[in-house]
Structure 1
Amino acid sequence: MPLPTVVLVHGAFSDAASWFGVVAELHSHGIPVVAPPNPLRGLASDAAHLASVAAQIEGPVVLVGHSYGGALISMAGTADNVVGLVYVAAHMLDEGESLGEFQDRFPATELASHLTRWTYPVPGGGEAVEVTIAEEAFPSVFAADVSALIGKVLASCQRPLALAAIDEKATAAAWRTKPSWALVAGADRAFAPEAARFGATRAGATVTEIDGASHAVTLSQPTAVARFIRDAVHAVS
């Protein structure tokens, strides 16, 4: 029986390259991987994009979401061929819950006070707001356990998140019906470890925690992250 395809979904302020080391590790163990771009324009549209990617993959799929990507796999994960969900320092929203509502349960992280607003044009005219992390704060807030040089490069290469996505409500919670795994980054300054633990407990997920890991755990600890994903893949195979 072929192994499920792992679909890696990056979060806000990063791109698919954040999975570089994880992809290499999974490939070395013969696990097929797809790491699509995440539009970062809103829960419904981003989840629909992800669901379309998953639907075009032959055979079973394990969805893996980092950060904001976790909210998307909870929605797209209702597809029939999705057999497991893996959350990496990620939001695990319930149906009818928004990112803002979920995060408001916990003390604000350093991320909240270091967001920079930008505007972008929308179809039909007008402008919408998107956010990035202030460049000078990015290394410490997002990637404290990677080198200063890499942190600075990542700060310059951010993908912005549409601000409207923060208040948009999730329309599904696939973790209610699909097996789930959650990795907590113990020193995360962008997404509170308490929030990750809460979501994992609520979902009844299999949990592991990496002490000292930042939000950029996919870059700083790719071997450990890939091992956790492999465990999920073999559990559903």
Structure 2
Amino acid sequence: MTKDPEAPSVVPPTFVLVHGMWHGGWAWERVAELLEAGGYRCVRVTLPGKDRAPGDPTFRGHCDHLDRVLAGIPGDVVLVGHSYGGAVLTEVGAAPNVRAMIFVSAFCLEPGESVASVNDAETGSQAGADDIRQVGDYLVIDPEIARHAFYHDCTSDEATSAVERLTPEHAGIRVAVVSHAAWRAVPSHFVICTLDRACTPEVQRMMAARLESSSELAASHSPMLSMPQAVTRTILEFSSRHCAPLGGVS
């Protein structure tokens, strides 16, 4: 019998959290702690990259890595992606065990689009093509630019800690074109960050309109660091529509 993708599961899902450019699984630590305190299993993915994790650092390598992660998880999965992580979700998120996806200021792309083609099409981004540098095969973002663009509503200590953990990103991932739109097949939600300086709210709303639902947070580009409880509540609220009954976060 074919499994109804809209039918609630009996066992709570595993939450698989995917980071954005220059970041790692560490970016989701506070959200994962809240989910795990509620009894849920989390996997914080760290995509391959220089000074980060072994493996193919390209977009294809990232997609293959997430494919392997999903294949190794028994039961249902809710995928959550931040920023560039949304492009990876877009490409491979329609895996058989994925029940729902949540895009947190993330690139929910149409086939033929890339992070660069969408983010650079509108003015206003403070982490766009003119704000990053290419060094060899990798892109880097200067600490003060990152602090201002990604973490302006975090505490000074939080912002410093995050900036110190950023790693170079393969230049190809920013211009890599997606060939699938998994969000067409998987129930998906978009979290618009209305104070975002990296991916402007206007660009986010354009992508959010593609999905069945969206919500807004008065947050920077990194609400998983500055507003982890609000992000966790949103994850659980949307997931509860498509998975087993889930508890909340106070």
Distance 1:34 1:72 in 2: 16
Where does residue 46 of structure 1 map in the other structure?
A: 62
Which of 140, 147, 164 is the aligned partner of 1:156? Answer: 164
Deviations 1:104-142 (A, max 9, x none): 3321411123313323xxxxxxxxx21122112221111
TM-score w.r.t. length of structure 2: 0.86
Counterpart for residue 186 of structure 1: 194
Aligned partner of 1:209 in structure 2 is: 216
1:124 paired residue number:
none
Query: Aligned partners of 1:172, 1:161: CA distance in 2, in Å?
Result: 22
**2-side partners of 1:232 and 1:61: how far apart?**
13
- The CA deviation at 1:149 is 2.6
Q: Separation in 1 of the partners of 2:32 and 2:212?
A: 23
Q: Does 1:111 align with 2:117?
A: no
How many Å separate the matches in 2 of 1:15 and 1:42? Answer: 15
Alignment match of 1:60 (pick from 49, 53, 76): 76
Q: From the two aligned structures, give the one with the greater helix fraction.
A: 1
Q: Size of the alignment, in residue pairs? A: 226
Query: Which stretches in structure 2 are left out of the alignment for 5+ residues?
Result: 1-9, 50-56, 244-250
8 Å Cα contact 2:119/2:125 also seen in 1: no
**5+ unaligned residues in a row in structure 1: which ranges?**
120-128
Cross-structure match for 2:150? 142
Q: Deviations over 1:24-81 (max 9, x none)?
A: 1111222211112112523222111101101110011111100000110111212111
Matched, 1:14 2:23: yes
SS in 1 for 2:85: helix
Distance in 2 (alpha carbons) for counterparts of 1:151 and 1:62: 28
Pair 130,205 (structure 1): closer, same or farther in 2 beyond 3 Å: farther
Q: CA deviation at 1:144?
A: 0.2
Query: Shift in Å at residue 229 of structure 1?
Result: 0.7
1:7 counterpart letter in structure 2: V
Q: CA RMSD in A?
A: 1.4
Matching of residue 219 in structure 1 with residue 225 in structure 2:
yes
- Please tell me whether residue 234 in structure 1 is matched to residue 240 in structure 2: yes
User: Contact between 1:142 and 1:216, CA under 8 Å: does it hold in 2?
Assistant: yes
How big is the shift at 1:96? 2.0
**TM-score, scaled to structure 1:** 0.91
Q: What's the offset of the Cα at 1:172? A: 0.9
Q: Is the 2:78–2:101 Cα contact (8 Å) retained in structure 1?
A: yes
Seq. identity, % = 31
Counterpart code for 1:107: T
- The one-letter code sitting in structure 2 at the alignment partner of 1:218 is M
**Cα distance in 2 for residues equivalent to 1:209 and 1:185:** 6
How far the C-alpha of 1:150 sits from its partner, in A, is 2.4
Is the partner of 1:109 in helix, strand or coil? Answer: coil
Tell me what 1:96 maps to. 112
